[in-house]
């Protein structure tokens, strides 16, 4: 599928942002057209390479990797990367383009077997102070890449590791330069034999209570297949990750936080008068899908 870069999208939006108010109704209709172009799934979803499956709980829906990459990169402006997504999970009554709510991006990070011996010994207050210092250094790299600086505010939810289920989750509150609304970076890691399944919430701080309410269901969404489970580890053949529990929580802000996640919050504001831009997106998206179908038929 051909890509429409985030920069191009922002350019398109800026050219029509100040259009007359009498087309706002058409804009909302076009937003619905984009939402209606997505095909969601329910039930059990097999992940690639046989590593595991997603069990979509009642009240949620799943968007496959191809459509999810289109959302993350083309619509929301996040930088593309290898294995950027295994799909998106979001509440059933919420649309991708809604101006509130959240989505969880699913990924698999094959970093090896993560030892959890340090889980009970981590001082998370001290770790947060280290993270704040790291952000100062990482902002230099962000500036060089052309992105605004960020500030680590603190824990939005304290790190918690369920040793029996091998599930780690935590949340950070992050402030992006010139943004009035702070970003919520809510992370879940399900430890496996050869790596971790990652669920990363894309949202903002006002949605923290909503995410926390749904977390108990989200924790059970992904499961490893036999042979990929944590207890299947074989010390004679399998590699041990350089990361520990503390390392997973620390991470790197630049790598773990989407650059443009807050575009989700401002869709309707940006969209005013953007009928032409959205129609172009839909044509490109549906046209690309048709090309793919034609190629398959050959």
DSSP states of 169-231 as a string? EEEEEEEETT-SSPEEEEEEEEEBSSSEEEEEEEEEGGGHHHHHHHHHHHTTSEEEPTTSBGG
CB-side exposure of 16: number of CA atoms within 13 Å? 21
CB-side exposure of 62: number of CA atoms within 13 Å? 23
- Angle at which helices 6-16 and 275-297 pack, to 10 degrees? 140
Render each residue's pLDDT in the chain as its tens digit; 298 residues. 434 444 444 444 444 444 444 444 554 556 677 888 899 999 999 998 789 999 999 999 999 999 999 888 888 766 677 888 999 999 999 988 787 789 999 999 999 999 999 999 999 999 999 999 988 888 888 788 777 788 899 999 999 999 999 999 999 998 887 778 888 889 999 999 999 999 988 888 999 999 999 999 889 899 999 999 999 999 999 999 988 999 899 875 434 334 334 333 333 333 332 333 444 444 444 455 445 555 544 4
Residue-level pLDDT at 35: 85
What predicted TM-score, i.e. pTM, was given to this entire model? 0.75
Residue-level pLDDT at 168: 95
**Secondary structure in 3-state letters for 39-79:** CEECEEEECHHHCEEEEECCCEEEECHHHHHHHHHHHCCCC
Residue-level pLDDT at 291: 52
Burial 136-165 (b: 16+ CB within 10 A, else e): eebbeebeeeebeebebeebbbebebeeee
Strands in 52-56's sheet, in edge-to-edge order, are: 43-46, 52-56, 222-224
């Amino acid at each position: 599928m051909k890509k429409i870069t985030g920069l191009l999208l922002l350019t398109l939006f800026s050219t029509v942002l100040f259009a007359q108010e009498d087309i706002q109704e058409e804009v909302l209709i076009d937003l619905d057209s984009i939402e209606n172009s997505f095909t969601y799934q329910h039930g059990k979803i097999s992940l690639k390479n046989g590593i595991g499956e997603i069990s979509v709980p009642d009240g949620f829906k799943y968007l496959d990797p191809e459509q999810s990459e289109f959302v993350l990169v083309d619509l929301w402006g996040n930088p593309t990367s290898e294995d950027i997504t295994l799909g998106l999970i979001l509440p059933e009554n919420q649309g991708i383009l809604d101006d509130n709510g959240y989505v969880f991006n699913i990924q698999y990070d094959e970093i090896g077997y993560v030892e959890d011996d340090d889980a009970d010994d981590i001082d998370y207050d001290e770790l947060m102070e280290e993270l704040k210092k790291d952000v100062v250094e990482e902002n230099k790299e962000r500036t060089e890449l052309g992105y605004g600086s960020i500030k680590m505010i603190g824990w939005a939810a304290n790190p918690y590791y369920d040793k029996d289920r091998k599930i780690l989750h935590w949340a950070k509150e992050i402030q992006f330069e010139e943004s009035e609304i702070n970003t919520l970076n809510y992370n879940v890691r399900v430890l496996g034999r050869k790596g971790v399944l990652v669920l990363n919430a894309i949202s903002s701080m006002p949605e923290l209570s909503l995410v926390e309410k749904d977390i108990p269901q989200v924790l059970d969404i992904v499961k490893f297949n036999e042979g990929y489970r944590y207890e299947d580890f074989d010390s004679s053949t399998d590699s041990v990750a350089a990361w520990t529990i503390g390392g997973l929580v620390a991470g790197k802000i630049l790598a773990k936080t989407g650059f443009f996640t807050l575009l989700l919050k401002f869709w309707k504001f940006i969209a005013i008068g953007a009928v032409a831009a959205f129609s172009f997106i839909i044509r490109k998206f549906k046209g690309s899908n048709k090309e793919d179908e034609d190629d398959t038929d050959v």
